Structure formats: structure tokens, C-alpha cells
Amino acid sequence: MIIKLCRIDDRLIHGQVATVWAKAANAGRIIVCSDEVMNDTIRKTLVLQVAPPGIKVNVVDIEKAIRVYNNPKYARDTVFFLFTCPQDVLRMIEGGIPIKSVNIGGMSFKDGKKQITKAVSVDDSDKETFRKLDELGVELEIRPVVNDVKVNIMDKI
Amino acid sequence: MKIILASHGQLAKELINSAEMICGKQEEVSIIEFIPGEDLCKLKQKFSECMDDSAESLIITDVFGGTPYNVAAGIALQNEHCLTIAGASLPMLLDVFMLRCEENISIQELANRILSNSTQYVRSCQELSYLSESEEL
């Protein structure tokens, strides 16, 4: 598979993703990589329902995402990987997927998280994971919309 | 290509604000608000202030047959660089902003695409709920 874009956004496919990022990524397929969403019927149904026109959407767990990436059948397919959290990105990379850059769109505020930008909140585990990703040389840029300026998350945590 | 959004009251301004939440700041956009108590003359004047005769302009109005539409239609019928469509909504506006970025798209082509996409702007959750995965991986 040819990776066109990787984004962390726990709202998954919403306005910004459906209209702007799907177009910018110019990928034939959006794959939501998340064990959690895979096992959540409502979230899964919604994601499939709001697929942007002309783009295939799949929801798979991380293990399957790695298998699919390596399947020669999809070698020439272009893909937009969508994640809910950095931990899943790290699992993919540790599974051998060559992710070089991650766009951080939205990580919602929950108890125990600290808000670092309008759309991004992190806890200790997230920070730790971003540090590991940074050490692996992965670009980690916060950018809600394509035209916004990239902000390196490492400057914020 | 310039976009002029004309509405009854402040809808135009807020539609732009909402669209920018989703697709970022937009250039070359004007809004025209038709305020209670204003007459046709005043409204026509507002249009002429934001029109540039040499540039292509797409006027989007809220209700077909409403005053902003009627004034805009009068302008579009006399100006070959200008088109008017009615039925402004957030999905339509997002569609317009995204299509406008396409290279060499003409104003006529853009308007045609909006009209043909317009049936997709209203959807029913129940109707779509039978959908399954696009294609099993």
C-alpha cells in the first residue's frame, strides 16, 4: 500500500476530514485503524455511512491493518490511515508499517487530559507515546485544516 | 473566482463562519445581507459595491424567488461573468469552496457540478443504515 496520509482524530470522519483532508490526501481508501472502533457497532456504522463520495472506507483492528498493508493484492492502492490515538500509530510502526509523518487533528478532552491546543488534549501516556514516535523520527504535526500552519507537537508537551 | 453569498438577514455571514470552521479561511468571498426595512434600491447598491465586472462571480442566494435571489438574478442575466444559484446551505458552500480549488474550473462548470451534487446535500440516517463496509479488505 502507498500511504498518502496518517491522521489522529478521535472524531474520525467529520466535516474537516470528509471535505478537506480526504481531498488533500487523494487516496482511494480511508482505513480507520482501531481495535476500539472495530468493536463499537455504532461508531463503525457511522464512519462507513459518512464515507466521502468515491472513497472506500474500512474499519479494521491494528493487527488486520498491518496484515492488509502487507498484502500484495493492495500493493498499488493508496491509503489514508485514520487513528483515534498515538498509541495505535506506535503499534503500527512497531508492526513494521513505515509511517513517516502523522497529522494530529483532534484528541478530545477527557478527565486526566491536559488541553494543549484548541483541538488537542493529551495525558501522560499520550506524551510518552509521542516522545517515542519523535525518537523514531516521525514528523508529528498539529494541523486541524490543510491550510493551517504545522505545529510540532513536541514543542507543546 | 469570486463568491458572493446573499441572504435574508445574517445567514450569509454565519454560513461563511461555519464553512471556515470546516475548510479554513476563504479568500474572495463577499456577503450581502438583506436587512428588514431595506428597499430594492439599497440592495441593488450593495450588490454593485461588491461586484467587479471583469472578474467571474458566483452569487449564491438563500431562497429561490426571495428578494436577494430576484436582485441577483437581474444582475446575472445582464452580466456574462456572473451566475446566480439559490438554495444556500452549509454542504453546498463546502462543495463550492472545494470545487473552486480545482484547476481551471470555469464558473459554468462549477455551477453545473453544484446543481448535480445538490441531491446529496440532504441525507437520511435510516436510509443509509443498511450500508456495510465498502468492500471487505
**Whole-number pLDDT of residue B26:** 95
Question: pLDDT tens digit string along B50-109?
Answer: 887 778 999 999 999 999 999 999 999 988 889 999 999 999 999 999 999 988 899 999
> What domains lie within chain B, and their CATH numbers?
2-128 (3.40.50.510)
For an interface test with B, give the residue of A13, A47, A49, A80 to mutate (most B CBs within 10 A).
A49
pLDDT above 60 (res B133): no
Cell of B14: 454565519
Residue B135: pLDDT band by 50, 70, 90 thresholds? Answer: low
Please indicate whether, in this complex, the C-beta atoms of B23 and A49 are within 8 angstroms of each other.
Answer: no
Q: Check CB contact of A125 with chain B, cutoff 8 Å.
A: no
Residue B132: pLDDT band by 50, 70, 90 thresholds? Answer: low
The share of chain B scoring above pLDDT 90, in percent, equals 74
The share of chain A scoring above pLDDT 90, in percent, equals 85
Q: Using alpha carbons only, what angle is made at residue A104 by residues B136 and A132, rounded to the nearest 5 degrees?
A: 95
What ipTM was estimated for this complex?
0.73
- B132 contacts in chain A (CB < 8 Å): 48
CATH number of the domain that residue A98 is part of:
3.40.35.10
Q: Check CB contact of A134 with chain B, cutoff 8 Å.
A: no
How many domains, chain A?
1
Give chain A as a 3 state SS string.
Answer: CEEEEEEEECCCCCHHHHHHHHHHHCCCEEEEECHHHHCCHHHHHHHHHCCCCCCEEEEECHHHHHHHHHCHHHCCCEEEEEECCHHHHHHHHHCCCCCCEEEEEEECCCCCCEECCCCEEECHHHHHHHHHHHHCCCEEEECCCCCCCCEEHHHCC
| Residue A24, domain extent | 2-155
Question: Does the pTM exceed 0.80?
Answer: yes
Question: pLDDT tens digit string along B6-46?
Answer: 999 999 999 999 999 999 999 999 999 999 999 889 999 99
